[in-house]
Structure 1
Amino acid sequence: MRYLALLALCLAPLIAKAQDWEDQKMFGAENADTILRILSSTDTSFFAPIIDDFIAANPAVSVEYLVTGTADLNKIFRETPDDFDVVISSAMDLQLKLANDGFAARLLDVSHPDWAQWHDSLFAFTSEPAAIVVNRSALGDLPIPNTRQDLIQLMRDNPDRFQSKVGTYDVRQSGLGYLFATQDARASETFWRLTEVMGRINARLYCCSGQMIDDLISGELIMAYNVLGSYAQVRAQASNDILVILPSEFPTTMMRTVLASSTASDPLVAEDFVRHLLTLQAVGDPARFPLPPLSATEANEGQTTIALNPALMTYLDQMKRAAFIREWEDAIVQDE
């Protein structure tokens, strides 16, 4: 018994550090001089060409790419910042808070638009809209919604048809979902009417866009709201049933961001990766950079792209977050 107790004490730190990743992949030579650990919310398929391009230019480096959800990513990195060298996430607000709290290294010689960076430590490298995504076959002869108001009216007119057949983010679990929801709410009162209508038809709640798209393709969902458009467009290319719609009144567009950890094991390699990524984005070769590049339009123009500025952190205040989630739950989680 004493031996088992000692064994449990020895194993406890290892168990605590264990993590179920959505994906985990090594790139480069097994005997590389340096291992760069990247913590990311972006699917490996999008980043594999970028990492391969970086390793081709830096053959002495191998890369471990670890994927998890945006909320988990923020929590993991805050708890163990020394374990990761580069952090990539679509949750702009959480990333900005990390940079503001000193978790990001400053890169003073990076040529990048002022509106797409924060204090030389957080850098945006894509522009990606949230979309309404529809399964055409499942929608049948019903009209295709082009605005949020169209979507509201369609669900109100056909509640039985859409019962448990509409998906959206669970903002309690998804950092990106929470960002999209708070930005929608700031932009228009339509968000709360839409949320209430989705609640009445028992909308299904998801952690991430990939799961929503899977259920759209299988026919389990007819429509999904605030799906990450870049992911949906890729899947739509392989499925004629999937239609991606950017709301015509205004699309909510986020910018995916990257930071080099201020405690990176090899700071120069971490910073070189960030520079390489930003250079590939600027070149715009889809084979080397298969994500949507930054829009040429300044971030705050037209109030469609979420601006990388301190206002992003407003809804991260604990009291404001708690109040927002209570209101959201009252609207959409009507059976709990």
Structure 2
Amino acid sequence: MRYIIALMLAFLPGAGWAEDWEDQLIFNEGAEGPRLRVISSTDTVLFAPLIEEFVAKNPSISVEYLVSGTADINMRVRAAADAFDVVVSSAMDLQLKLANDGYALPIDDIDTPHWAQWHNSLFSFTTEPAAIVINRAAFEGQQVPVTRQMLIEALRKRPEEFRGKVGTYDVRQSGLGYLFATQDARASETYWRLMEVMGGLDVRLYCCSGEMINDLADGTILVAYNVLGSYAAVRAEGKDALEVIFPTDFQTIMMRTALVSNATREPDAAEAFIRHLVAEKSAARETQSSLPPLTSPGGVTDRETIGLNPALLTFLDDLKRKKFLSAWENAVIQ
């Protein structure tokens, strides 16, 4: 329903969206030159260093940073592409579809690997795995689950301890959650067994990684599945209660992407911002950002980096999406 409301607001004259943002911040306010509007799914605390480095190099440009969920970003850009200059999201599939549908402005001659860009319109700048995050106290004296099957066995062994204490994405609402879920399901049938077990334990469903980690930290939940690894690592740092696990059976790894809106009012500044992201997060450079760098998939068999290619669009097909969500609801909503 909130997405329908967002669309309605987009077409109402003078309607303001400020109250709808998860976060909103202006960098280098008062600069005499253009102001970029960057809509992003990345928490400000993680992305701010990249923006600060950009405005330090481009002091005449200010940046308005607007944070929203991945599915919501897709809806907003489609409703009003001219409202934004740069679109950043962890939902690779939705981003690729935006670019494929003509919402991205092509940029030539960006120095990035062929596998990290799509038709000079969509550009990857980080490589980030999904993780299992646990509250260590819940596994004291127990074997820590490092595979999905081990997690299933741990949850089945102590159902009453974990009832209502396990969290994952609500894939009906989260674009990134849906991406991780479809990729997991393609990789192994273990995913569906895990979802059934979690559903039987009254799993808590979340919009985003940050909320899951907050609930882990205060003990509301004891296990979170498919948390974005970059968020988990930052939030768990210095917190002895939490442990971040990158599954050893296989890793689902996404690339965070950015594009310039085809309706941008500041094409030169927006292009400069994209070039900055790609340059700062290339594997050879160090940056103050906590976001990990862009690294090559490397052909390692236990790492499944999601490819930036047309296969991403498979589960965005209306019939396939409806079928997948139906199977997911049957497993999880018990």
Q: Which amino acid aligns with 1:264?
A: T
Give CA-to-partner distance per residue, 1:213-259, whole Å, 9 cap, x none.
Answer: 00000011111100001100011112111100011011100000010
Deviations 1:263-285 (A, max 9, x none): 11110110010001111112431
CA, structure 1 residues 121+242, in 2 after alignment: closer, same or farther (shift >3 Å)?
A: same
Q: Describe the SS at the equivalent of 2:130.
A: strand
Determine which structure has more spread, i.e. the larger CA radius of gyration.
1
Matches within 5 A, 1:144-293: 144-282=144-282, 283-287=284-288, 289-293=289-293
Matches within 5 A, 1:49-88: 49-88=49-88
- Aligned residue in 2 for 1:41: 41
CA apart distance, 1:141:
2.6
C-alpha distance in structure 2 between counterparts of 1:201 and 1:290, whole Å: 34
- The DSSP-based 3-state class of the residue aligned with 2:120 is coil
After superposition, the CA RMSD in angstroms is: 1.6
Q: Are the equivalent residues in 2 in contact too, given 1:299–1:307 (CA < 8 A)?
A: no
Contact between 2:260 and 2:274, CA under 8 Å: does it hold in 1?
yes
Task: Please say if residues 299 and 308 of structure 1, whose CA atoms lie closer than 8 Å, have aligned partners that are also in contact.
Answer: no
For 2:287 and 2:217, the matched residues in 1 are separated by 25
Q: Secondary structure at the match of 1:127?
A: strand
Offset of 1:111 from its aligned partner? Answer: 1.0
1:182-220 deviation line (CA, Å, top 9, x unaligned): 000000000100000001111100000000000000011
Tell me how far apart the structure 2 counterparts of residues 301 and 274 of structure 1 sit (CA, whole Å): 31
Partner in structure 2 of residue 8 of structure 1: none
1:137 aligned partner: 137
Contact 1:115–1:298 (8 Å) recurs in 2? no
Structure 1: runs of 5 or more not aligned: 1-10
CA distance in 1, matches of 2:261, 2:148: 39
| Equivalent pair of 1:299/1:306 in contact (CA under 8 Å) | no
5+ residue gaps, structure 2, are 1-10
In 2: Cα distance, 1:169 partner to 1:248 partner:
21
Contact 1:88–1:256 (CA under 8 A) maintained in structure 2: yes
Aligned length: 323
Q: Deviations over 1:30-73 (max 9, x none)?
A: 24321000000001111111111111111111000000010101
- Matching residue of 1:15: 15
User: Quick one: which amino acid aligns to residue 48 of structure 1?
Assistant: A
- Normalised by the length of structure 2, the TM-score is 0.93
Match of 1:3 in 2: none
Shift of 1:307: 0.5
| Counterpart residue number, 1:307 | 307
Could you say what secondary structure the match of 1:274 adopts? Answer: helix
Cα 1:139/1:309, change in 2 over 3 Å? same
Which residue identity lines up with residue 13 of structure 2 in the other structure?
P
Aligned residues with identical type, % of pairs: 56
Residue identity opposite 1:119 in structure 2: H
**Separation in structure 2 between the aligned mates of residue 295 and residue 269 of structure 1, nearest angstrom:** 26
Letter in structure 1 aligned against 2:176 = L
Provide the rounded CA distance (Å) in 1 between the counterparts of 2:249 and 2:46. Answer: 29
Q: What pairs up with 1:25-40 in 2 under 5 angstroms?
A: 25-40=25-40
